[in-house]
A and B are shown apart, each in its own frame.
Chain A
Amino acid sequence: MATLKINDLHVQVEGKEILKGVSFSMSEGETVALLGPNGHGKSTLFNAIMGHPRYKITQGSIYLDDVDLTHMTTDQRARAGLFLGLQNPAEVPGVINSDFLRAAVNATSEERISTYKFYKLLDSATKELKMPFDLATRSLNEGFSGGEKKRNEILQLMLLNPKIAMLDEIDSGLDVDAIQTVADVINKLEGEGKGFLVISHYARLFDLIKPTRAIVMVNGKIVLDGDPSLIKRIDQTGYEFIKAELGINIEKEENKMNEVSIGSCAVRESIKK
């Protein structure tokens, strides 16, 4: 059973430290909910684990069992058994979805898959996801709706067979029926022994996939690691209790707007008059 171990991970994005010593571990067979206010490093953690070049690891380590992934390239991490379902998957014009999926399946499995076997796999996976087969033959994510993109992420997850999958807001953009479909797939894969680390802002997805654990990230650190009742508590009361009970001040998300916007200029002008 594979275990993902994150130890004292510090990560910078464009020179700014976002993760300030993240430590936790999880194994195959677990479904872990990753909670936390916006802008506190959840997506950064996923990107850093997957090896996005924009996210610089300055300290700490990432292990999958005894394999050190910390300095590996993204594709090596994928082949080691990690998967990241993206919040906003890129649209890649001209690259046919099925060509890409086939290349990816071949890259992550030991032997090359035959055309026949691949299309059988693709056909059954698209049916399970209630996804029109046509989507597999179009340009990768190009012109896909938000929901179609998310289903395409799950399709990749099903075909690539990773050990541990990170899903970043996989439920956003999905309607109620589609969330059910995606949750069914996650539950099935969890039953097969895969591990899931899941970010979502909605209790609905968690109700359906029943995490075995919940961890909470605040200010670039894991501040709570506990049982899934945390999900309900946060859904109902928010994150304020963390300050009261743990004495941790939740840093407000920085205002990313320019300090002087057209709006404020116009207001100032009118006041002068």
Chain B
Amino acid sequence: MTLRPCSRRAALRLAALLAWPGAAQAQPAPTLQAVMAALAARRSGQADFIETKQIPELDAPLGSTGTLAWQAPDRLEKHTLAPVEEILRVEGDRLTLARPAQNLERSMGLDDVPEIRPLVESIRATLAGDLATLQRHFEIEFRPEAAGWRMWLRPRSLRVRAALQSVEVTGLGGELTSLVTRGNEGTTRLLITPRPAGR
């Protein structure tokens, strides 16, 4: 008889922290549809990120930095460089987490645990401009802002909502600039700086 590693479930939640910058064309008073179309137009790109995790039991937030890489239609990689190297990759229906220093690599399916796919899709479907998938998993609230847009994603599933309250995404035209994930175990902020296209 087999027991699934529960630890994988959490590993995956981090997928929600990934973000990707799109094209840098600011548009006047963007709509959700227009933003999704602009996101869908980006087929690939890279960005640097700075992440801060606030955990109630810790005095100070934990910080980390690294790079993000997106390749349409479904490949996303978050490569943390400091303080500890770690690679989180989502492709198709698989997720892989590797920590080279510990020679550790784990892989699992996005549907292995019900919470995982919504977490992954909150970022991946956003990057892909796939509104249908986003709406399947989340209630979406979209608001244009002075310099871009802001989107709140609230999980539709009660079970998922028990662990993940919301994901707040901000962007500028077809690119993401930040992603804030609020869950039971703290709040994670991901600030994204796109690298120039073509690099």
Partners in one complex: no
